[in-house]
Amino acid sequence: MTDLTRASKELFRRNPDERFETLRSLWEHCHQQREDSTDRWHSPDTIGMQAADRSIRLAAGTDGAFLMNDWSFSQLCRMAKVAKDTVNRLSSETATQVFRETMPSGNKPVQILTTGDTVRSLHGTQYTRLWNADLVHMLREFAVDFEPPQKGFNGATGLYAGEQDMFVFLIDPNGWTEINGEAFAPGFFVWNSEVGRRSLGVQTFWFQAVCQNHIVWDAVEVIEWRRKHTARVSEGLSQIREIIERLVEKRDARKDGFAKVVSTAMREKLGDDAEECLKVLNRQGITRGLAKKALELAGQKGAFTVWSVVDALTQISRESVNAGERTETDESAAKLLALV
């Protein structure tokens, strides 16, 4: 088992205006952002820099001059192969001259994504965008039983979208089942960036607990898939959908299997009387004192079925103050269920 901290890192780095209560509200935001954005293709010789009001603007041919945010400015510096920290110390006029002399030339067009009067990102021809709205739409359609975890200590929701990327943390609160005698529920992370800040990816898992810092504790069967934003990135939607569908199929199979085990345990007797049942429990390594206490509780509910004794052990575990005793009792209950 492992502890997953990816969602916790998102919790601590997200501002309140990047948090969303539901998948629907997240989708509405991403959809509107897509509607307000425009892809512009320009050859390098039609792209220029203009100094204005202690800042610089990117002039994109006849489309006009645009402001830049921190991410697109960083991309511009990498494209021109100049140090961002150095440019930030220059006057706008000097910085403009630097870019005029260092911007690459050639015939390959530059992809410029703008929203309003601001450049969101700059890319070459090899970059292919996957819209956040399309990814969230798929989640709303194929992850219907999943929802965000409990809110973090600072109000963080697990659903985030900012200027540079998007992150989704969902769990199935009704998907609890047993794996090797312990309770687990399914969950997953999904992430993407429309501006090249991070890859497209998904991570699925089965977990035992999520704390208020959104650390996922004791995760098993952790599966991760990711893809860069290249020509076939749109196929990633289908692959993420298939990964989530497999998680759902496994959840349903495990719940059905556990239900069958419980049904059998409710019918199958450990013995006809307490003395016979005590011998069975002792053979399973359950101490005499714990076995007698469990049988006393089970006897109050009628027949000594496997389930009645397991239920009694569970009750004893909940009432135990000592962690070691709780572990011993839970292991004893798991051994009995394994009999059926």
Task: Give me the residue spans of the domains in the chain.
Answer: 2-33+130-256, 44-107, 268-338
Amino acid 306: pLDDT? 79
In this structure, the chain runs to a length of 340
Which of 41, 43, 42, 40 lies closest to 106 in space, CA to CA?
43
b/e per residue 29-41 (b: at least 16 CB within 10 A): bbbebeeebeebe
Amino acid 277: pLDDT? 79
Which of 62, 180, 186 lies closest to 112 in space, CA to CA?
62
User: DSSP letters along 173-217, please?
Assistant: TT--EEETTEEEEEEEEEEE-SSSSS-EEEEEEEESEE-TT--EE
Q: CA–CA separation, 308 vs 313, rounded Å? A: 9
Q: Tell me the mean pLDDT per 10 residues along the chain, length 340.
A: 92 95 96 94 88 84 90 92 90 89 86 94 92 96 93 93 96 82 87 95 93 92 92 90 92 76 75 79 80 79 76 74 65 67
Distant-in-sequence, close-in-space partners of 9: CB < 8 Å, separation ≥ 6: none
The beta-carbon contacts of 311-317 under 8 Å, at least 24 apart in sequence, are: 316/290
Q: CA–CA separation, 131 vs 296, rounded Å? A: 61
What's phi and psi for 212, nearest 5 deg? -70, -10
Q: CA–CA separation, 315 vs 184, rounded Å? A: 19
Amino acid 244: pLDDT? 94
Pairing of strands 177-179, 166-171: unpaired
- Grouping H, G, I as helix, E, B as strand and the rest as coil, residue 259 is helix
Q: CA–CA separation, 208 vs 217, rounded Å? A: 6
Q: CA–CA separation, 72 vs 89, rounded Å? A: 18
Total-model pTM: 0.77
| Residue 176: half-sphere exposure toward Cβ, Cα within 13 Å | 7
Amino acid 323: pLDDT? 60
